[in-house]
C-alpha cells in the first residue's frame, strides 16, 4: 500500500505517498471521489506550511492529547480519507487514550461504512462504532446527522479529522469539545474547534499518541493546565502567519 515505486529520497516523498494512499483508498471503496478533492486542498496548505509540524501545531497536539486523557468518554471519528491515510495510527491513538472509534461519513453509505470498519479491524481495532446510527446531531439534514447514540452522541470529547465545516459547527453547538485536524487554518472546521490542529493528519495522529504516552501518568492538575494554557485563536493566527512567511 505504500507504493514501492516512490524512492524515499524524492523531495516530495511524503506528499506522493499520501496521494498514493488516497488513490488506493478510492480503488478499495474506502474513500469517496470527493475525498480526492479534499486531499488536493490539504496538500496545497501543507505545501504553504512547509510540510512540517509547526510549533503551534505541536502545542495543539499536546493539548488535544491532554483533553483525550482527562475526559470521560472520547471518540475518534473516522471518514474515508482518515481510513485510507492513517488506519493503524488511529487505532494506536484510540488504545493509548482509551477512546472509541466511530466511522462517520459525509457521503454515507452502509457499504462504505462496513468496508472502513473492516479495514480498521484489520489494523487492530477491537470495536468500531458507526453502524448503529441511532443518534442524531441536531440542525443537520438526515444522512449527515447520523451518529451512534452511545458513541459520538454520548461523547464529551470528539476528535474530528478533516471534518466538514457544517458538521463541525453542529457538533460544537451540541456542547462537544471538538479537536479538529485540518491543514486549512481558515476552514470553518478549524474555526469551530476547541483545539484546532493545523497539521497533516499523517503527522498529527502519531504526534498526539506520543504526547498521550508521555502524559499517561500525569495528574489531573497537569492535564488541566495544559488544556487551559492552550489558546485556539493564537494557534490559528500563528498558522496563518507561517503561511504568509514561507
Q: Does 65 bind ligand ATP (CB under 6 A)?
A: no
Phi/psi of residue 29, each to 5°? Answer: 75, 25
The beta strands (E) that lie in the chain are given as: 74-78, 100-103, 135-136, 146-147, 157-161, 177-181, 195-197
| Smallest separation (angstroms) from ligand ATP to the CB of 165 | 2
Q: Restricting to residues 127-186, which ones interact with ligand ATP according to CB under 6 A?
A: 162, 164-165, 181-184
Binding mask 195-224 for ligand ATP (x = CB under 6 A): -----xx-----------------------
Q: Phi/psi at 166 (nearest 5 deg)?
A: -60, -45
In the complex, which residue's CB is closest to Mg ion?
189
* Interacting partner of 28 out of Mg ion, ligand ATP, none (Cβ under 5 to 8 A depending on kind): none
C-alpha cell at 157: 470529547
C-alpha neighbours within 13 Å on the C-beta side of residue 90: 33
CA distance linking residue 155 with residue 148, whole number of Å: 10
Minimum gap (Å) between residue 190 Cβ and Mg ion: 7
d(CA 80, CA 112): 8
Distance of alpha carbon 168 from alpha carbon 214, whole angstroms: 28
- Scanning 33-41, 55-63, 215-223, 230-238 for contacts with ligand ATP by CB under 6 A, the matching segment is 33-41
Q: What does the alpha-carbon distance between residue 88 and residue 201 come to, in Å, rounded to a whole number?
A: 12
> Does 35 participate in binding ligand ATP (rule CB under 6 A)?
no
Q: Is residue 81 involved in binding Mg ion (CB under 5 A)?
A: no
200 binds, among Mg ion, ligand ATP, none (CB under 5 to 8 A by kind): ligand ATP
Shortest Cβ distance from residue 87 to ligand ATP (Å)?
13
Task: List, in order, residues 6 or more apart from 193 with CB less than 8 Å away.
Answer: 168, 172, 178, 179, 180, 182, 232
Question: 131 vs 140, which CB is nearer to ligand ATP?
Answer: 140
56 binds ligand ATP (CB under 6 A): no
Alpha helices in 28-109 (DSSP H): 33-48, 55-70, 80-85, 87-97
Judged by CB, which is closer to Mg ion: 42, or 151? 42
Q: How far is the CB of 137 from Mg ion (least distance, A)?
A: 16
Give the range of 97-105, 126-134, 137-145, 164-172 binding Mg ion by CB under 5 A.
164-172
Asked if 187 touches Mg ion (CB under 5 A), the answer is yes
Residues that bind Mg ion (CB under 5 A): 165, 187, 189
Amino acid at each position: 500500500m505504500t507504493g514501492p515505486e516512490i524512492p524515499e529520497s524524492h523531495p516530495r516523498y511524503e506528499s506522493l505517498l499520501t496521494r498514493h494512499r488516497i488513490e488506493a483508498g478510492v480503488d478499495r471503496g474506502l474513500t469517496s471521489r470527493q475525498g480526492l478533492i479534499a486531499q488536493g486542498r490539504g496538500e496545497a496548505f501543507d505545501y504553504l506550511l512547509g510540510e512540517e509540524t509547526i510549533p503551534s501545531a505541536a502545542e495543539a497536539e499536546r493539548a488535544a492529547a491532554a483533553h483525550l486523557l482527562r475526559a470521560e468518554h472520547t471518540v475518534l471519528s473516522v471518514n474515508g480519507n482518515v481510513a485510507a491515510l492513517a488506519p493503524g495510527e488511529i487505532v494506536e491513538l484510540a488504545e493509548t487514550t482509551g477512546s472509541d472509534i466511530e466511522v462517520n461519513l459525509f457521503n454515507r453509505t452502509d457499504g462504505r461504512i462496513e468496508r472502513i470498519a473492516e479495514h480498521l479491524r484489520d489494523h487492530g481495532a477491537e470495536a468500531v462504532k458507526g453502524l448503529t446510527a441511532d443518534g442524531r446531531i441536531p440542525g443537520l439534514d438526515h444522512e449527515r446527522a447520523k451518529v451512534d447514540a452511545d458513541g459520538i452522541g454520548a461523547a464529551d470529547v470528539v476528535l474530528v479529522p478533516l471534518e466538514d465545516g457544517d458538521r463541525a459547527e453542529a457538533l460544537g453547538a451540541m456542547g462537544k469539545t471538538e479537536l479538529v485536524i485540518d491543514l486549512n487554518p481558515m476552514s470553518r472546521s478549524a474555526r469551530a474547534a476547541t483545539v484546532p490542529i493545523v497539521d497533516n493528519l499523517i503527522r498529527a495522529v502519531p504526534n498526539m499518541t506520543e504526547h498521550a504516552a508521555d502524559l499517561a501518568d500525569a495528574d489531573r492538575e497537569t492535564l488541566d493546565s495544559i488544556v487551559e494554557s492552550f489558546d485556539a485563536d493564537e494557534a490559528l493566527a500563528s498558522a496563518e502567519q507561517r503561511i504568509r512567511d514561507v
